[in-house]
Structure 1
Amino acid sequence: MTSSSPVVAVEPNDVADSPGHETYFAKPEHFFPHLTDDGKIPTAQFLSACQGIADFVSFLGATFSLVRKDIQGNVDKVRVRFEKDQEGQKYLQQLIDADLAEHGGKFGIATEGLLWLKRGLQFMLELLTEMVTAYNSGLPRDKTEDLSGAVATAYGKSLKRHHGFIAKQAFKVVTMAVPYRRQILKAVALGQEGLDDVCIHHIQCHLDNFRLNVKTLVDYYIEKKLDTPDV
């Protein structure tokens, strides 16, 4: 996981599109939700944001297709469960509890899918954080265009501990095939040129809610003894 420093949730209006400055990460449907006062995650907006992350992976090129397929598949598993009882599973914690109750306290399709979804989200959160950090590092921008190191770092902080030998070897190919940052940011800018600063700002604002949602989900899985703390 990322730093344990206090997290302040950011509202979508804080990164609202302005004419000529529209970006992928400023779209309200891609924003992770604000938590309730008692720390619950609104399921519908969470799934919408996860769909946004799955679609964003397409910007990373064909080599990331398996990553996208994995995230998308797990989003779909959780969505199927949610659509059975949207009111009773309005919050993600309710959905987890309902799925566990239906399966005698053991993993169901939705809770197992959500387990791997949160791991995929941790990877994407780390990758986006690394992107923003490198861009804002003060180094010459052309020296930080190559994101292969960012992908490797993000993988090492998230998915690597859960993968076997074959998956780890496959991910080395993914690491080396990531497009340059300028290509990704052009996609984030919806094809517009010259909006790198705006894109990075929107991604950076997006990360606070993203991080808070992931941390809350990780903590709930540990509380329910469905996963163990990262070591």
Structure 2
Amino acid sequence: MKRRRYEMEESDVRSAIEELSMFRKMKPDGDFVPAKPFLDVCNLILQILDKIGPTMTVLRQDINQNIQRLEKFCESDPPLFSNLVEILKKERDEGNARQVNSCSRAFVWLTRSMDFTVTLLQSLTKDPGKNMEQAVEESYNITLKPWHGWISAAAFKVALKLVPDNKTFISLLTEKDDNYEIIKEDIETLISLLLPLLEEIHSIMELHGLDKMKST
């Protein structure tokens, strides 16, 4: 049993690939995002961000809170658990979508966290020699900074000094018997699964008027 827990901890990228592959099979075309696989993928993204270290503490806390908010809401109204879009519609119709503790806000920020992760992974696979601090900062500037207030942006700038170097980060993602080429291929597979999903989700956000939502 201990051996299996170790293997699960050492295969975050492959676990994410497996979850996303199942997600794609479950998700029909159109205005539909099943809650459980979406939240499972968010939890796996969280594990990948863990490898970056203390820099991601605030983002991790935010992701955790948003996952818990969606889970709690779905548990209180089980029919909504099959499709998160129904929650967005419900909150939009009730005028609650932009409230601080809304599920719509949680959905938006979980999506943006995935945007950040995929942009960072793309940067590192395209240019393995790129400075890790630079890659994290560029990814943050593209995906999260436009929606953050100055306090969040300033806090991120300070924490940026704590990122590991590229080699350390990649080694943390790599399984015991793998090499760089294997993990690079896994990351590229993960990116190829995340990108079309994010494109669909952003279309849903735009449809429901959530795409310009900023932090409070």
* TM tier, smaller: 0.7 to 0.9
TM-align CA RMSD: 2.5
SS at the partner of 1:221? Answer: helix
Per-residue CA deviation, residues 179-213 of structure 1 (Å, 9 max, x unaligned), is 112222222124x2652211111111011221222
Instruction: State the identity as a percent.
Output: 20
Give the CA deviation at 1:69. Answer: 0.9
Sort the Cα spacing of 1:112 and 1:153 in 2 relative to 1 into closer, same or farther, 3 A: same
Per-residue CA deviation, residues 131-181 of structure 1 (Å, 9 max, x unaligned), is 11113xxxxxxx43x311111111111111112222222212233321112
Q: Could you say which residue in structure 2 is the equivalent of 1:132?
A: 125
Q: Distance in 1 between matches of 2:202 and 2:178?
A: 37
Q: For 1:41-190, what aligned pairs fall within 5 Å after superposition?
A: 41-101=33-93, 103-104=94-95, 106-107=97-98, 109-135=102-128, 143-144=129-130, 146-190=131-175
Q: How does the TM-score come out when normalised to structure 2?
A: 0.80
Higher mean displacement: 120-129 or 48-57: 120-129
Give the CA deviation at 1:127. Answer: 1.0
Q: How does the TM-score come out when normalised to structure 1?
A: 0.75
- The amino acid that maps onto 1:205 is T
Higher mean displacement: 34-43 or 162-171: 34-43
Between Structure 1 and Structure 2, the one with more helix by share is 2
Sort the Cα spacing of 1:88 and 1:29 in 2 relative to 1 into closer, same or farther, 3 A: farther
Q: Distance in 2 between matches of 1:195 and 1:23?
A: 13
SS at the partner of 1:31? Answer: helix
Sort the Cα spacing of 1:153 and 1:208 in 2 relative to 1 into closer, same or farther, 3 A: same
Q: Which runs of 5 or more residues in structure 2 are unaligned?
A: 1-6
1:25 aligns with 2:18: no
SS at the partner of 1:27? Answer: helix
Q: Which runs of 5 or more residues in structure 1 are unaligned?
A: 1-18, 136-142
Per-residue CA deviation, residues 94-122 of structure 1 (Å, 9 max, x unaligned), is 23223434x34644621111122222221
Q: Distance in 2 between matches of 1:100 and 1:197?
A: 46
SS at the partner of 2:109? Answer: helix
Q: Could you say which residue in structure 1 is the equivalent of 2:189?
A: 205
Q: Distance in 2 between matches of 1:200 and 1:89?
A: 34
Sort the Cα spacing of 1:38 and 1:49 in 2 relative to 1 into closer, same or farther, 3 A: same
